[in-house]
Amino acid sequence: MANTPSAKKRAKQAEKRRSHNASLRSMVRTYIKNVVKAIDAKDAAKAQAAFVLAVPVIDRMADKGIIHKNKAAHHKSRLNGHVKALNLATAA
């Protein structure tokens, strides 16, 4: 455990930051999960709406450094591909 006052403060700050970042990461996962659920349910309109809501959240977390920018791009690309495929399948 930290002994000096400055080390104690840094430990408190690190814990506060860790829990805040964990909360933000959880939020991103929830938005992604909402898109995946709509895709699994074969609901194209709901999937598109969930995707539109998820993209800015994913981008914000990448900008803040909560997730890596390439991971954000990977999630957006993968979800967009699934949503487009679902739209094509329901249109045909």
Q: What is the pLDDT of residues 53-77, one digit of tens each?
A: 999 999 999 999 999 999 999 999 9
Q: What does the alpha-carbon distance between residue 24 and residue 66 come to, in Å, rounded to a whole number?
A: 7
- What pLDDT is stored for residue 23 in this prediction? 98
* Domain count within the chain: 1
The DSSP result for 43-58, as a single string, is -HHHHHHHHHHHHHHH
Range of the domain at 30: 5-91
Q: What is the pLDDT of residues 13-34, one digit of tens each?
A: 999 999 999 999 999 999 999 9
